[in-house]
Amino acid sequence: MMRISMSLPKKLLADFDEVLKDRGYQSRSKGIRDALQDYILRYQWMNEMEGERIGVITIIYDHHYTGVMEDLAEIQHQFRDTITASMHIHMTVRYCMEVIIVDGDVKDIRSVTEKMMKLKGVEHVKLTSTANGKNFDHGTDPDYSHNHTH
Ligand code: NI
């Protein structure tokens, strides 16, 4: 085992400890190891996807943070071929939530998501995706074509 030391915002650590307590963890180190493992897995999973997907990016950001709205708009214009629709919710006085529908090559979907994740002022970004249905229309699944008339 390696020993590291790190600085964390007080609130983040308090929230983390709260989750560990709820889940019955005895050791903070074990909690951090599991969280890191989960982070790595999620990244690898996102990187291993291929082909066309349809999905939702949920993003929460602090609209008082200078430049963040402009940066988000810039990214969305850049990826306008991938982004189908978006909805903006003024969540609190300070925080906005944006729900963005993406459809296209997973490489592009991943790029948009990662660009947003890197922005300062952005608190949370989550991507969920599924097969985008192109195979449903033209696929060779016998059960599917059996029950479907074109
Ligand atoms: Ni807003």
Q: Report the separation in Å between the CA atom of 72 and the middle of ligand 1, taken as the mean of its atom positions.
A: 12
72/99 Cα distance (integer angstroms): 12
- Listed residue (76, 49, 72) closest to 121, CA to CA: 72
Question: How far are the Cα atoms of 39, 52, 106, 142 from residue 132, in angstroms, in the given order?
Answer: 25, 6, 10, 19
Per the structure, the count of domains in the chain is 2
Which residues fall inside 5 Å of ion ligand 1, going by CB?
90, 96
Nearest to 87 by CA among 69, 99, 73: 99
Strand partners, 86: 100
123 with 67, same domain: the answer is yes
Does residue 146 carry a pLDDT above 50? no
Residue 23 Cα, ligand 1 centroid: separation in angstroms? 33
**Shared-domain flag, residues 40 and 97:** no
Q: Please indicate, yes or no, whether residues 118 and 55 belong to a single structural domain of this protein.
A: yes
For residue 24, give the 3-state DSSP assignment.
coil
- pTM of the predicted structure, to 2 decimals: 0.68
- What is the average per-residue pLDDT within 66-79? 96
pLDDT tens-digit series, residues 77-98? 999 999 999 999 999 999 999 9
Q: For position 136, what pLDDT does the model report?
A: 61
Q: Calculate mean pLDDT across residues 52-66.
A: 94
Whole-angstrom Cα distance, residue 59 to residue 103?
17
Asked if residue 140 has pLDDT above 60, the reply is no
How far apart are the C-alpha atoms of 96 and 31, rounded to whole Å? 30
62 and 122 fall within a common domain: yes
Kindly state whether residue 59 falls inside one of the protein's structural domains: yes
Shared domain for 37 and 54, answered yes or no, is: no
Q: Are residues 75 and 90 in the same domain?
A: yes
Same domain, 18 and 79: no
Range of the domain at 36: 10-44
The one-letter amino acid at 1: M
Task: Give the pLDDT confidence of 103-124 residue by residue, as tens digits.
Answer: 999 999 999 999 999 999 999 9
| Residue 74 in domain | yes
- CA–centroid distance, 5 to ligand 1, in Å, is 37
Pairing status of strand 95-105 against strand 83-90: antiparallel
Q: Are residues 131 and 103 in the same domain?
A: yes
Return the percentage of the chain with pLDDT > 70, whole number: 89
pLDDT (0 to 100) of residue 38: 87
Domain CATH number, residue 82: 3.30.70.1150
Give CA angle at 61 (53, 107), nearest 5°: 25
